[in-house]
Amino acid sequence: MIYLIPILNACFGWLIISLLFYFLFHPRKRKNLFIIELQGFIPKNLSQWGKQLGKYAAENLVNIPQMKESLLKGERLEQINNMLEKKVDDFLRNKLKEKIPVFSMFITEGMISKMKEVLMAELEKMVPAAIDQIAAGVEQEFNVEQLIGEKVNTIRAEQIETVFYKEAGKGIILLKLIVAILGFAIGWLEIVLLKL
Q: For a pLDDT cut of 70, what percent of the chain falls above it? A: 100
* Low pLDDT (below 70) residues in the chain: none
- Measured CA distances, 73 to 56, 67, 128 (Å): 24, 10, 10
3-class DSSP assignment, residue 147: helix
Prediction pTM value: 0.57
Residues 6+ apart with CB under 8 A from 181: 10
* Tens-place pLDDT, residues 53-75: 888 887 777 777 777 777 777 78
* Tens-place pLDDT, residues 38-47: 888 888 888 8
